[in-house]
Amino acid sequence: MKNITKFKHKKVLVLGLAKSGVSAASLLHKLEAFVTVNDQKPLSENPEAQSLLQEGIKVICGSHPIELLDEGFEYVVKNPGIPYHNPLIKRAIEKGIPVLTEVELAYLVSEAEMIGITGTNGKTTTTTLLYEILQEGRQQPLIAGNIGTVASEVAQTAKKDEKMVVELSSFQLMGIDEFSPHIAIITNLYDAHLDYHGDINEYWKAKANITMNQTEEDYLIINHDQEHLRDVVEFTKASIIPFSTTEEVESGAYIKDGSIYFKQDCIGELASVVLPGEHNLENILCAVAASKLYGVSNDSIMKVLGTFTGVKHRTQFVKEMNERKFYNDSKATNILATKSALNAFNGPTILLAGGLDRGNDFDDLIPHLKNVKLLITFGETADKLNETGQKAGIQTIIRVDNVEKAVPVAYEHSEEGDVILLSPACASWDQYRTFEERGDIFIKAVHSL
């Protein structure tokens, strides 16, 4: 870990705990900052805050008192989930106090080079796939970020000859200052998280922050098929490596004659790839491009592509039962992700969908429902999805209470050759704490049949 002095003897407020807040507070304490932690949850119900208190860190719990900022803090490190319209954050910005997220701390202390991966969809699959390819290619990768282990925790033990593969959200990227990965990847950009960002321009700008500090010695891997994405990053100084599923981009990664190419080099045949779905071609090309920049052999790349079946909760194959295949795509928390999942299958499909109502309709799904023979809905958006299903001409639509009850209903109405797909097109928070919890309940229900 680099022994930086940027925060030494500086007053730093860590706002919001969870895993990232705990890691940030502990790291700042090691860096000899004067740390104060503020979390909404009362201390008596807050084991994370209690553990930090035992480390000698000042803890204030139960509310976010605006007068905290009168104590002369020089930095605020906030949990990514806390929006910028939070009164305390707004006041900090008005006072000119830098507001950071813990990925900035990770970058500042990491001895290892970083690969940053962001985008609307495909981040986790790309991150995991690239990690496995680099591991097969003996590049000593580490994996961190939204995918599981907090980046600032991994960075503390990262070594110079290692590489940190970090999944990054727009929430995290809004809170950076010096952060600059050697390789940045933007998988794609669509409308998302507008309830947090306010408008699409702010969301896209946050994503583009991944390249704002890159230099001519760095690389930016971007989706050539999205013209607006090229505009978003027109200010980059990094060398642009495009990828495309539709065109031959000779300076990047692409598909040609049923094979995967990087520049003029044929990596291997698509027929050898086991990861399902057209949408996953983008993720594969991202991972191929980044791994080739590190000199990984084609044999190592194809060995992984021949065995990698996906990430849990991302069009994850769960089980085949009496010639019915069950897939868990609980991570599909928006319409675009569900479109991609539906397009991955050509045969008759039973779709399980529903969740948190964010005010949108689902008519954009209609062209992608052509193979759906049965729609099973649940959650706050059940009625809206029912209407969309009717417009799409789906003959059988059934509303149930939750995911657990949807599974036996789906099986009861299924036939040999059917795909039973959980792809909710909605966040989970109306009924479940996380999309992972929702997916785990689906998996358990499948195995209970």
Task: Give me 147's structure tokens.
Answer: 């995918």
Burial class for 211, CB neighbours closer than 10 Å (0-12, 13-18, 19+)? buried
The length of the chain in residues reads 449
Nearest CA among 368, 374, 346 for reference residue 425: 368
Single-letter code of the amino acid located at 50: Q
Q: Is 246 annotated as a binding residue?
A: no
Question: Alpha helix locations (H) across 18-117?
Answer: 18-30, 47-54, 87-94, 102-109
Q: Is 101 annotated as a binding residue?
A: no
Nearest CA among 197, 101, 188, 113 for reference residue 158: 113
377 with 386: CB under 8 angstroms? yes
16 with 101: CB under 8 angstroms? no
Handedness of CA 73, 100, 83, 24 (dihedral sign): negative
Q: Is 36 annotated as a binding residue?
A: no
Q: Is 377 annotated as a binding residue?
A: no
Which stretch of DSSP H or E encloses residue 128?
Answer: helix 123-136
Q: Is 125 annotated as a binding residue?
A: yes
Q: Is 122 annotated as a binding residue?
A: yes
Task: Give me 311's structure tokens.
Answer: 């990430």
What is the rounded distance in angstroms from the CA atom of residue 252 to the CA atom of residue 241? 5
How far, in Å, are 140, 198, 295, 355 from residue 430 at the CA level? 40, 21, 46, 6
Task: Give me 430's structure tokens.
Answer: 């109306």
Question: Quick check: helix, strand or coil at residue 116?
Answer: strand
Q: Is 119 annotated as a binding residue?
A: yes
Bridge partners, residue 100, by sequence: 77
* Residue numbering of the annotated binding site: 119-125
* Residue numbering of the annotated binding site for ATP: 119-125
